[in-house]
Every structure is written in C-alpha cells, then in structure tokens.
Amino acid sequence: WTVLLVGLVLESVADMQKLWFKQSQQLRGRWIDVGVWHWSRHPNYFGEMLVWIGSFIAAARVFVGGEWAAVMSPIFIVLLLLFVSGLPIVEESVDRKHRSNSDYLSYKQRTNILLPLPPPLYEKIPIAIKSSVLLDWPMYNTMNKQHMKVPDESSSINDTS
C-alpha cells in the first residue's frame, strides 16, 4: 500500500502545483520548475507509475493462476508513459518552446526526467548512470532535431511550411 499511497500523493501534489503554476499570470510562458517539479521534470508521471505498480503489489498477494496476468496493467502504463503518450510528447513540446532559453537548458541538465532527485545530487551523477538507471535517455532530448522550428505568432494553423 505504501507504493500506491506515495504515488497518489506525488501525482496529486504535482498536478495541483502545475495547475497553480499555469493559473499564475506572472509565470506565463515559463516551464514549471518549482515544488516537486524542481526535483523532477515529470513528477506527475512518476506518481502515476507508482500508483499502478503499487496497486499491482497490493493486490498480488491474493493472485492465483491466470490472475497474475494483471501485471500487464502497470507494465502497459509504464511503457505508454515512457515511450508513447507521456514523456516523449511533453519533452518535445517543452524543448520546442524553450530551446533557446539558457535557464531552461540548465534546468534540463540538473533535473532528472522522472525520478525526483535533488538537483545538486543529480548533476554529480555520471552520464552512464543517468542514461541507464535514471531513464534520462537520448530520445528525450529533442533539442537538436531539425523539425523543431517554432512557428511565429502570425502563422496560421493551416500553414504547412
């Protein structure tokens, strides 16, 4: 139950902080880097993963036979967030929006993509550990992609250039 509860609290706190951040007029146009977002670029997704993993762990003690197939639920959610609808999409969007901002680049360098870690600690971790154990994979760094052209405010939705 602990994993489930930690995930639920983390996801809820992260979502509330993001809501408050988005509602702040002074912070418009910035990326969120306060609260739990100071320690992780996506604490809400990490919390979501913990909720699913914790739910499985809590229920697993009574599983028999084919009920163990329930392990597919947390695996599916984790894979979905890591490779499809979560991190890749959000990272590319935020990179596109803030790629020329040196403060954002610094934030990205010192903040783990998923696991909440103190930035001074994370900065000192070797790149090999960051890109393996800590899931900060090259696929999440879209800063150098050619298609990262940011449309100006005057371009229309139908502009295909």
Amino acid identity for residue 32 in this structure: I
Average pLDDT over residues 128-140: 90
Reported confidence tier of residue 99, pLDDT bands at 50, 70, 90: confident
- The closest of 45, 39, 73, 41 to 58, measured between CA atoms, is 73
Reported confidence tier of residue 9, pLDDT bands at 50, 70, 90: very high
CB 6 within 8 A of CB 54: yes
Report d(CA 68, CA 54) in Å as an integer: 15
Q: What percent of the chain has pLDDT over 70?
A: 89
CB within 8 Å of 98: residues ≥ 6 apart: 31, 104
